Amino acid sequence: METAFRAFRVHRDEEGFTSGVETLSISDLPEGDVTVEVHYSSVNYKDGLASIPNGKVVSSYPLVPGIDLAGIVLSSRNTKFKAGDSVLGTGYGLGVSHCGGYAEIARMPAEWLVPLPEGLTLQESMAIGTAGFTAALSVERLLHNGLEPADGPVLVTGATGGVGSMAVNILGKLGFEVVASTGKPEAEEALRRWGASSVVSREAAMGAVKGTLGKAQWSAVVDPVGGAGTGEIMKAVKYGGSVALSGLTGGGAFQTSVFPFILRGVNLLGIDSVYCPMPERVKLWQRLAAAWKPEQVLREAIKVYRLEQLEEAFGTVLSGKALGRQLVSLQSR
């Protein structure tokens, strides 16, 4: 008799869009050589988009969303993993074209999974999740482009969100002067605890700048927000500085000119966590389990939901009201 399990699934057909918690069986899952008992997933902006009719991220229906998952291997046809192994998965097709983490059981290719690094619990790995991994990838790219603490302040936009809060914490641990930008002035005290040296309003950091260039303020920028503000931020980046752009909560387009690039040598770095090569993926997860572990955010800014509460979590993320990270516990009833 096939194992029955619960999952949050979305449907779209000629009758419209529906979503909710359903009971599935193993045969409902897509092909894959590793089957995982999922303990935790997380709620990212992309997951919120997958939960609405016009979110434009799901490529085929029906689908179990959830671009992150962490759990215990139940069975594996790949020698890289065996039953009982603790694993995590982020990106690739999870929750977009392949059933993802919002199910008590998931099945996927072994090539999409990372062994849980020593130093992280399953819950911590999903509290970090795609957001924390994206933050780490952003910091890594900035360091690779020569960023050092002596260069001056680093701006983090959307600092109370998943990527932003993790970036503030990581950069603070590495000794950088972090300027956190947020639309939530009530979060200033928390942001300072997480590693921010100062906090500025969203308008002050991303508002319109007169002319082609503004005052050179930022040695680098971690920008998970995107939109029109990105073009304005680039006018304020110091000579040779870089902007690590990873998100679109502020919109999918921005305007700029050639002047930040040809007069100040500014670098615009695209950050893609979905198809990051596995060697770099493993290296960054090991750092997130050790020297880069965002302990302050993990202690203070994690909210855990049950599967039945996902709609509430989606609303929090899509409305921009999230503080830190939103988790889903799949093994709690």
Three-state SS across 27-86? HHCCCCCEEEEEEEEECCHHHHHHCCCCCCCCCCCCECCCCEEEEEEEEECCCCCCCCCE
pLDDT 10s digits, 129-138: 999 999 999 9
Question: Alpha-carbon distance 71 to 216, whole Å?
Answer: 46
- Residues 146, 261, single domain; the answer is yes
What is the extent of the structural domain holding 58?
Answer: 4-116+301-329
Nearest to 276, CA basis, from 77, 109, 89: 89
Partners of 221 in the β-ladder = 155, 243
Q: CA neighbours within 13 Å on the CB side: how many for 34?
A: 28
Instruction: Please indicate, yes or no, if residue 279 is contained in any of the structural domains.
Output: no
Dist CA 168 CA 282 (whole Å): 22
Torsion, CA 229, CA 230, CA 231, CA 236, rounded to 10: 90
Q: Which value, to the nearest 10 degrees, does the dihedral of the CA atoms of residues 203, 206, 211, 215 take?
A: 100
Please indicate, yes or no, whether residues 95 and 145 belong to a single structural domain of this protein.
Answer: no
Helices (H), the chain: 45-50, 122-144, 162-173, 188-194, 202-206, 228-234, 259-263, 278-288, 295-300, 310-318
Q: Tell me if 295 is assigned to some domain.
A: no
Interval 40-82: pLDDT, tens: 999 999 999 999 999 999 999 999 999 999 999 999 999 999 9
Q: What is the rounded CA–CA span in Å between residue 157 and residue 160? A: 9
218 forms beta bridges with: 237
Domains contained in the chain, number: 2
Please report the pLDDT score of residue 208 as a whole number: 85
Sign for the CA dihedral angle at 287, 292, 298, 302 comes to negative
Domain with residue 324: its CATH number is 3.90.180.10
Q: Are residues 258 and 160 in the same domain?
A: yes
Shared domain check, 162 and 69: no
- Do 211 and 319 lie in a common domain? no
In a domain, 264, yes or no: yes
C-alpha dihedral (92, 95, 101, 104), degrees to nearest 10: -130
Residue 124 located in a structural domain:
no
Same domain, 108 and 143: no
- Type of residue at 25: S
Is residue 286 one of the residues assigned to a domain?
no
Regarding whether 66 and 10 lie in a shared domain, the answer is yes
CATH number of the domain at 261, please.
3.40.50.720
Contact residues for 223 (Cβ-Cβ < 8 A; gap 6+)? 155, 157, 158, 229, 230, 233, 243, 244, 245, 246, 247
pTM above 0.85, yes or no: yes
| Residues of the chain scoring pLDDT < 50 | 1
Task: Based on the fold, state whether residues 162 and 263 are members of the same structural domain.
Answer: yes
Residues 142 and 258 in one domain: yes
- Whether residues 82 and 161 fall in one domain: no
Buried residues in 47-85 as b, exposed as e (16+ CB within 10 A) = bbbbbeeebebbeeebbbbbbbbbbbbbebeeeebeeeb
Q: Examine residue 79 and state whether it is found in any structural domain, yes or no.
A: yes
Pair 69, 103 in one domain: yes
Please report the pLDDT score of residue 1 as a whole number.
42
* Number of Cβ within a 10 Å radius of residue 186: 9
The answer as to whether 47 is a domain residue is: yes
Question: Considering the domain boundaries, does residue 227 fall inside one?
Answer: yes
* Residue 142 burial (10 A CB sphere; 0-12, 13-18, 19+): buried
